[in-house]
């Protein structure tokens, strides 16, 4: 399973991209608005930092407007893919864009039917929102499992399952186990997933032992001298 970063914050993207673990970035209007910068400049810079798909979401709600926006956004950088909401007009726009060779990440997926419809329309990715389902007392991870099961029944479907709205490190593990192709995570979730108290304790012990060894050797050299 590949990992995308779900943010538009350039500092976070630069930091985590250095670790060599992310292969794409997802953004949305909310994340971009938080940055308060020129949207095109932000997207282009993200594309220069991360050599992989970078989702830019349309804000139109009619197919014609979505297609018009998408055609503009993909001129910004070769890594840009288009994020489109799961609504009837979104399906129509996705079908047009897929015929033009423009990759679509269909977002706001909450049931297997929506995922299947998106795939049939030609979406390159479907983004089921796990955390938002958990918020209403529904097991979000079950949705990933159902979509995986549906997609496996048809060898002609090459749409990738992009687990979204991940709220904690366990979501990341469970998405991988369930068969998601990609998981997109906020920087905070990535950082939490990286940390473990035993790693910190073990490192401190190793360094402390090394410092003690250096001190012993220094004393021994001083005594011999």
Q: Which of 83, 177, 192, 195 is catalytic?
A: 83
- pLDDT tens string, the chain, 225 residues long: the values are 999 999 999 999 999 999 999 999 999 999 999 999 999 999 999 999 999 999 999 999 999 999 999 999 999 999 999 999 999 999 999 999 999 999 999 999 999 999 999 999 999 999 999 999 889 989 999 999 999 999 999 988 999 999 999 999 999 999 999 999 999 999 999 999 999 999 999 999 999 989 988 888 788 777 777
HEC per residue, the chain: CEEEEECCCHHHHHHHHCCCCCCEEECCHHHHHHHCCCHHHHHHHHHHHCCCCEEEECCCCCHHHHHHHHHHHCCCCCCEEEEEECCHHHHHHHHHHHHCCCCEEEEEECCHHHHHHHHHHCCCEEEEEHHHHHHCCCCHHHHHHHHHHHHHCCCCCCCEEEEECCCCHHHHHHHHHHCCCEEEECHHHHHHHHCCHHHHHHHHHHHHHHHHHHHHHHHHHHHHC
Residue 37 is a catalytic residue: no
The fourth-level CATH superfamily of domain 2-194 is Aldolase class I (3.20.20.70)
pLDDT of residue 218: 80
Q: So where are the chain's domains?
A: 2-194, 196-225
pLDDT of residue 31: 96
pTM score, whole prediction: 0.92
């Amino acid at each position: 399973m590949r990992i995308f970063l779900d943010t538009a914050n350039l500092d976070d993207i630069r930091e985590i991209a250095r670790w060599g673990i992310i292969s794409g970035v997802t953004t949305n209007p909310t994340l971009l608005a938080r940055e308060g910068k020129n949207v095109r400049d932000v997207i282009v810079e993200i594309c220069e930092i991360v050599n992989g798909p970078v989702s830019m979401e349309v804000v139109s709600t009619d197919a014609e407007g979505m297609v018009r926006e998408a055609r503009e956004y993909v001129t910004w950088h070769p890594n840009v893919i288009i994020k489109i909401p799961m609504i009837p007009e979104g399906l129509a726009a996705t079908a047009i864009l897929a015929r033009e060779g423009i990759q679509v990440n269909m977002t706001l997926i909450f049931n297997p039917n929506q995922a299947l419809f998106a795939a049939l329309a030609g979406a390159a990715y479907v983004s089921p929102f796990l955390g938002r389902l958990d918020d209403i007392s529904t097991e979000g991870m079950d949705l990933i499992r159902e979509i995986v099961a549906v997609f496996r029944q048809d060898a002609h479907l090459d749409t990738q399952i992009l687990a979204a709205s991940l709220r904690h490190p366990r979501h990341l593990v469970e998405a991988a186990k369930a068969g998601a192709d990609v998981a997109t995570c906020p920087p905070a979730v990535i950082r939490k997933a990286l940390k473990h108290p035993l790693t910190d304790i073990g490192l401190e012990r190793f360094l402390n032992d090394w410092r003690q060894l250096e001190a012993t050797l220094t004393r021994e050299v001083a005594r011999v001298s």
